[in-house]
Amino acid sequence: MRKGIANLPLHYGKAPPWLFSRMVELSRSILELIVIEHGKDTLLRRLSDPFWFQSLGCVLGFDWHSSGLTTTVCGALKEALKDIGGDLGLFMAGGKGKVALRTPEELDIIGERFGLDVEHLKEVSRLTAKVDNALLQDGYQLYHHVLVFTSEGGWAVIQQGMNAEERLARRYHWLGEGLRSFVEEPHSGISAQKVHERIILDLTSKGSKETRKAIGELLKDREALLRELETVKRLDLPRRHYITPEDLNLESLKKTVKKLERVEGFEDLMKARGVGPKMLRALALVSELIYGAKPSFEDPARYSFAHGGKDGHPYPVQREIYDATIETLKRAIEKAKVGQREKVGAIKRLSRILND
C-alpha cells in the first residue's frame, strides 16, 4: 500500500561535503543495525512511513522541514548501500532528475551483479511513478524517484514532486507489502503541511471508483469511444473549474486510443505506454458525460533533533557528537555480528528510558 504523503517547503542548495560524508556513515550504521535487529522487511516498512523518514532526516542533521531532506537523505542511503548492500541483501536504485529516469538500467546492473530477477521491480518503478504523476493530479510534478528493495523481492518507493508556484514539494511513500491495488486508495495515511483548496483530480480515491469503472468500459470498445470523442467536441458544456474541453487535446487522445492493445480494466490502462495525465483527464471527462460517473477532486493530503540542523535550527550540527554517534553504532554493529548483544541491549534500554 502507499503509506502516505508529506508536504515540505521547497528549498534549494546542497549539503556541505563535511555533513554529507557523515550522513553516509551514520545512515550506513543505522541501516545495518536495523537489519541485524529487526530484518529487512521492517526497514522497508519504516522507510515507507513519512514520519519515520522525516525523523531519520533530523537524526542525520539535515534541514528538518525542507524538500532537500528527501533527496539528500536518499542520496546518503544509496551511497551507504553501495558498501553493505550485497551483504545485507538490500539495494537502492534511482534518484533525482535524470538519475530517476535511469532506474531500470540500474536495476539491470544490480540484477546481473547479484543474480536477481528485477523485471517485476521495473514494473513497480514505472507504475508507482505513473500513479503519482497521472492518476493523482495534485499539481506536483515528480522529479525524484528511488526504489529500495531486498534480494527476496520486497520493496518500498520514495518519490517527490515539485510545485514551483506554491514553493512546496510533496513526498510520496509506497510499500509493496500488502499492496492489493495500484489504482484504489493505495495509501494508509497522508501527512501534509498544506491541503490545497483548489480542485484536483484524484483517480485513486474510492470516490472515483465509478469513474475508473466507466473508463474501463469505454476502452473495451474503442470504436465507440472514438465516436463519443467526436461528440464531445460539439457539446455545449457548462463552465467548470476543474476540467474543460480546452484542457484536452482530443486529436492526440484519439491517436493514443487507437494504439492501445485490448484493455480489460483500469489497471490494464495504467500498464499501457503513452497513457499520461492529459489522457486520463480526458477519459474522466468523457466517462462523466456518458455515465455520470464523477471523479474525486479532493486533495488526498491531510519531528525531533539529535545532532542539530544544517541550516542552524535549532542549533548548528554538533560534529563531535555526530562523530561519537557514528562510532558508537559501529561498535554496536561489530558486537552484534559476533553475538555480543550487550551494546545493542544498552541502546534499547536507553531508548525505553527516554520514551518513558
DSSP string computed for 16-58: -HHHHHHHHHHHHHHHHHHHHHH-HHHHHHHHT-HHHHHHHHH
Supply the pLDDT for residue 87: 94
The confidence score (pLDDT) of residue 218 equals 77
Range among 186-190, 249-253, 282-286 with highest mean pLDDT value: 282-286
Residue 237 has pLDDT above 60, yes or no: no
Separation CA 82–CA 278 (nearest Å): 38
Question: pLDDT at position 355, please?
Answer: 57
Using DSSP, state whether 67 is helix, strand or coil.
Answer: coil
CA-CA distance, 1 to 185, in Å (whole number)? 8
| Confidence at 264, pLDDT banded by 50, 70, 90 | confident
Task: Using the structure block, give the residue that is written with the C-alpha cell 521491480.
Answer: 121
> 105 or 331: which carries more pLDDT confidence?
105
List CB contacts of 140: < 8 A, sequence separation 6 or more. 161, 162, 163, 168, 169, 170
Q: Report angle CA 60, 57, 324 to the nearest 5 degrees.
A: 15
Do 329 and 33 touch, CB atoms closer than 8 A? yes
Domain ranges of the chain: 2-196, 206-291
Structure letter (DSSP) for residue 146: E
- Rounded to whole angstroms, the Cα distance separating 269 from 280 reads 10
3-state helix, strand, coil in the chain (%, to 5): 55, 15, 35
The pair phi, psi for residue 205, each rounded to 5°, is -70, 150
Residue whose C-alpha cell is 554538533: 318
Residue 104 has pLDDT above 90, yes or no: yes
Tell me the longest C-alpha to C-alpha distance in the chain.
76
Residue reference for cell 503509506: 3
**What residues form DSSP beta bridges with 142?**
161
Among 32-36, 176-180, 259-263, the range scoring the smallest mean pLDDT is 259-263
Residue with cell 499520461: 276
Q: How far is CA 180 from CA 1, 80, 134, 204, in A?
A: 7, 31, 19, 13
What lies within 8 Å, CB to CB, of 236 at 6+ separation is none
Summarised one tens digit per residue, pLDDT across range 158-215 is: 999 888 888 888 888 999 998 888 877 665 444 445 566 655 788 888 888 888 888 8
Nearest CA to 127 among 230, 214, 204? 204
The amino acid at 10: L
- 306, amino acid identity: A
Average pLDDT, the chain: 78
Does the pLDDT of residue 288 top 60, yes or no?
A: yes
Set of cell numbers at residue 186? 493505495
Burial tier of 188 (Cβ tally within 10 Å: 0-12, 13-18, 19+): middle
| Mean of pLDDT values over 89-98 | 96
pLDDT score of 22 more than 80: yes
Of the pLDDT bands very low, low, confident and very high (cuts 50, 70, 90), residue 326 is: confident
